[in-house]
């Protein structure tokens, strides 16, 4: 179970890292754009599904318990996230402008929606968001990215595990 999970986790981590870097080519900042959460859900779902399906078919003789799915899913999304975080930290170390580019993109994003923020949170809330963007660090961005990936995996794993579970007769 562990070997299969790690195999799919490594591939998933590579795919997530590639999608992260390719998104910049399409003028999308994955640290801001929430559509990347959808990509994470889809990728985690696919790789967790294939890992669990392989185990169920070739090692479980068609029997697959929910707890096995949860365990395999946890391994897949955790290892993939660790791999992604490692790649993200390397990226931040070699790209001196990465945090500044994030700050500029986030400020632009917030300025486009400033009126909506003022209506919901007031001028003080808008200024607080601007201050948080200005004060963001590499570690803040890494932690935020890791948390989003872990949450995506956490929510998709039970769904896939329920779909694939099959009790012995």
Specify the higher pLDDT residue, 109 or 7.
7
Q: Which helix (H) or strand (E) holds 19?
A: helix 2-23
pLDDT digits 0-9 by tens, 82-109:
999 999 999 999 988 888 988 988 888 8
- Give the closest residue to 102 by CA, choosing from 76, 150, 136: 136
- Give the closest residue to 153 by CA, choosing from 17, 20, 9: 9
Specify the higher pLDDT residue, 38 or 50.
50
Query: Under DSSP, is residue 105 helix (H, G, I), strand (E, B) or coil?
Result: helix
Output DSSP code: residue 166.
B
Specify the higher pLDDT residue, 13 or 101.
13
Q: What percent of the chain has pLDDT over 70?
A: 99
Phi/psi for 166 (5° steps) reads -155, 120
């Amino acid at each position: 179970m562990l070997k299969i999970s790690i195999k799919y986790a490594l591939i998933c981590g590579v795919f997530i890292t590639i999608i992260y870097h390719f998104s910049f080519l399409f003028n999308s900042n994955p640290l801001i754009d929430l559509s990347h959460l959808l990509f994470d859900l889809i990728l985690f779902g696919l790789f967790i599904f294939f890992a669990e399906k392989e185990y169920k078919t070739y090692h479980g003789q068609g029997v697959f318990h929910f707890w096995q799915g949860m365990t395999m899913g946890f391994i897949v999304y955790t290892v993939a996230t660790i791999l992604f975080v490692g790649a993200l930290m390397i990226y931040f170390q070699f790209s001196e402008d990465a945090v500044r580019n994030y700050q500029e993109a986030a400020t632009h994003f917030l300025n486009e929606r400033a009126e909506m923020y003022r209506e919901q949170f007031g001028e003080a809330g808008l200024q607080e968001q601007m201050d948080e963007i200005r004060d963001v660090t590499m570690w803040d961005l890494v932690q935020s990215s890791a948390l989003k990936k872990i949450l995506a995996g956490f929510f998709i794993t039970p769904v896939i595990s329920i779909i694939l579970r099959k009790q012995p007769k």
